[in-house]
Structure 1
Amino acid sequence: MKRNFTVRRGALDGVEAFLSVARHRSFRKAAAELGVTPSAMSQAVRALELRVGAALFIRTTRNVGLSEAGERFHARARPAFEELIAASDVARDLGQRPSGLLRLTVPRAVVPILLEPLIASFSKAYPEVEVEIAVSEGLVDLAAGGFDAGVRMGQFIAPDMIAVRLAPPFPFVVVGSPKYLRRRGTPEQIDDLRQHACIRIRRSNGTIAPWSFVSGNKPIEAIVSGPLIAYDFPTMLGAALEGMGLAQVPSPIATGPVKAGKLLQVLQPFAPMTPGVFLYYPSRHQMMPKLRAFVDHVKHRSATNHDARLQPDDRRARSTKKR
């Protein structure tokens, strides 16, 4: 038989009054502590006794003592009430200053490039906030997953989310190892991919993503084939480094291997641009201090990095425009 665990409406009414009277053994002193009249205190306790179905106090003209039912009720109610007060204090504290657990859902490729330096500086600035990073390539419902915010490329973020830029727009590039390209040749046109081993990625919905290109202003999708299907871009990049085939990946994760000569870019004229990477979260009205602090930290670092990239002449020009 299924039991009903729902707390009755008003079941907690009078409990604070009861505990105060039990502590002081006096309705008058309890009333003074809670800032109400002795009559109001007496009515609150009587209403509680009616709901409980037993007298909780033994009253005389000079003394107030606990009945047997009152002793048992007090033994269970006092620690429970103290826990409720503690829970309220913890929740209030989280609502007043940056503290607690900040949960973020992010793609694996973003962690070393963007988040590691960002999280390190944020944790130094806000030591009372714990940061949890959950790696996921799929689109995650923040509320259902219990996340405060997420990181995704701009084209995948729902329009009802608030987005803060983490990285500027960048292209998707096709890369291959020098060894692979010597063996299979360098593709010059999109159709040349038919003769190449292409490393693919499976989306979170189960489909295999086509490769995307642009020719002039026209977007093109190419169905490719190859020896490996991955679930994230770092795995694709690793396979390309091993010479398994070509991979189409976000340019920021390929920059290091390309500069080191471990990978070469091909089909560059056809590389499509993406809006960039963003931090996203729900309405500002629901924002806790820990998330507000993180968003402000992201914005501050973005502004600082932007100013650092400007040349001295560029800074003067921007300052002149403002005046």
Structure 2
Amino acid sequence: MRPLRLDSLEIFEDVVRCGGFRAAALGRGVSSSAISQSISVLEEALGIRLLNRTTRSVAPTEAGERLLERLGPALHDIRTAIDDLNQLRERPSGTVRINAPGPAADHVLCPLTFEFMKSYPDVNVEIVSDAAIIDIVEQGFDAGVRFGNQLAQDMIAMPLGPALRYAIVASPDYLLKRGRPESPRDLLQHDCIRRRFPGGTMETWTFEKDGNEVEITPKGRLTLSSAHHELQAAMAGSGIAHLFEDYVRDDLEQGRVVELLSDWKKKLPSWYLYYPSRRHTSAAMRAFLEYIRHREWRPVSN
């Protein structure tokens, strides 16, 4: 068997994680043909095909899946050994990769990261906006962001901001035509902008007032999967939207949308940054965690 290069194994991992040669090439700043050549050399050296290639997709073969299963932890250990040298540097360096839903990235994670990077100029940060529940270790992330009640037991978690609340909003034009709902159940007579999660389930809306909790399954002609698009739809008069307060604060102040049922708000868990408890964290990740620990979060006003 021909000698194997460590970078060819890293390239193989990148291709599988990114879902193709082009995406892996963009991440590495090289050409797709260079990535393809590296994989071909690796397969020739091992004497077995690792990837099934079509014109539209790339997927690991059974052999590729077995290699990847063992390769991920091994490559992580190698990167960690190299990263430990950062402790001898005056300033941490490296890359932090975080997976987070769009609203969390928009209103909490990105502003926090921008300030962090000013203090740590040698640290690179990659944020992938994704609402799907994934295995962050398997997908090569250092951390993820989710609600507190969505975290696996083998994860360490820390609050990433104050408690959250949803706001029910609609445009002035919609309310002029359809009237205002006076209770959560009145929403069932309105066009609500529904959300379908990546797993296929539909979002339910939960309300609370004076210790009474009401949950409804909204009805409506429009179904979306993005808070950004839901806000656009609400402002266009397409229906009533159910969005985080942070997401609609500016539009409420400008009068582009109107808040409804404000006395029925239910307080939710905050966003949490979570990371594996059994995995050695890099110097860059440790710096990021330390930065978060020293933040003071503004509480939600009543």
TM range (shorter): 0.5 to 0.7
Question: Which whole-Å CA distance do the structure 1 matches of 2:77 and 2:138 have between them?
Answer: 23
Higher helix share: 1
Please tell me the residue identity of whatever aligns with 1:195: Q
Q: Which has the larger radius of gyration?
A: 1
Kindly, what percent of the aligned residue pairs are identical?
34
Query: Residues 159, 260 of structure 1: CA spacing in aligned structure 2 closer, same or farther, 3 A cutoff?
Result: farther
1:232 and 2:221 aligned: no
Question: Which whole-Å CA distance do the structure 2 matches of 1:177 and 1:89 have between them?
Answer: 54
Please tell me the residue identity of whatever aligns with 2:171: S
Please tell me the residue identity of whatever aligns with 1:140: I
Cross-structure match for 2:122: 128
Question: Which whole-Å CA distance do the structure 1 matches of 2:162 and 2:238 have between them?
Answer: 30
Cross-structure match for 1:205: 199
1:292 and 2:281 aligned: no
Question: Which whole-Å CA distance do the structure 2 matches of 1:193 and 1:176 have between them?
Answer: 12
Structure 1 residue 91: Cα displacement: 4.9
Question: Which whole-Å CA distance do the structure 2 matches of 1:91 and 1:209 have between them?
Answer: 40
Equivalent residues, number: 223
| Contact 1:155 1:274 (C-alpha < 8 Å) held by counterparts | no
Cross-structure match for 1:138: 132
Question: Which whole-Å CA distance do the structure 1 matches of 2:148 and 2:254 have between them?
Answer: 29
Question: Which whole-Å CA distance do the structure 2 matches of 1:248 and 1:293 have between them?
Answer: 35
1:108 and 2:140 aligned: no
Structure 1 residue 136: Cα displacement: 0.3
Question: Which whole-Å CA distance do the structure 2 matches of 1:121 and 1:226 have between them?
Answer: 40
Structure 1 residue 274: Cα displacement: 0.6
Query: Residues 159, 104 of structure 1: CA spacing in aligned structure 2 closer, same or farther, 3 A cutoff?
Result: same
Question: Which whole-Å CA distance do the structure 1 matches of 2:79 and 2:244 have between them?
Answer: 42
Query: Residues 255, 286 of structure 1: CA spacing in aligned structure 2 closer, same or farther, 3 A cutoff?
Result: same
The structure 1 residue matched to 2:238, chosen from 244, 253, 261, is: 244
- Name the SS of the counterpart of 1:104 in structure 2: strand
- Name the SS of the counterpart of 2:137 in structure 1: helix
| Contact 1:171 1:272 (C-alpha < 8 Å) held by counterparts | yes
- Name the SS of the counterpart of 2:237 in structure 1: coil
| Contact 2:80 2:282 (C-alpha < 8 Å) held by counterparts | no
- Structure 1, unmatched stretches of 5+, are 7-86, 310-323
Structure 1 residue 132: Cα displacement: 0.8
| Contact 1:137 1:232 (C-alpha < 8 Å) held by counterparts | no
Structure 1 residue 278: Cα displacement: 1.5
| Contact 2:80 2:280 (C-alpha < 8 Å) held by counterparts | no
- Structure 2, unmatched stretches of 5+, are 5-75, 87-91
Please tell me the residue identity of whatever aligns with 1:261: G
Structure 1 residue 130: Cα displacement: 1.4
Question: Which whole-Å CA distance do the structure 1 matches of 2:77 and 2:260 have between them?
Answer: 59
Matches within 5 A, 1:1-323: 91-97=80-86, 98-283=92-277, 286-300=280-294, 302-303=295-296
- Name the SS of the counterpart of 1:257 in structure 2: helix
| Contact 1:122 1:297 (C-alpha < 8 Å) held by counterparts | yes
Question: Which whole-Å CA distance do the structure 2 matches of 1:275 and 1:239 have between them?
Answer: 26
Please tell me the residue identity of whatever aligns with 2:168: V
Structure-1-length-normalised TM-score = 0.63
- Name the SS of the counterpart of 1:172 in structure 2: strand
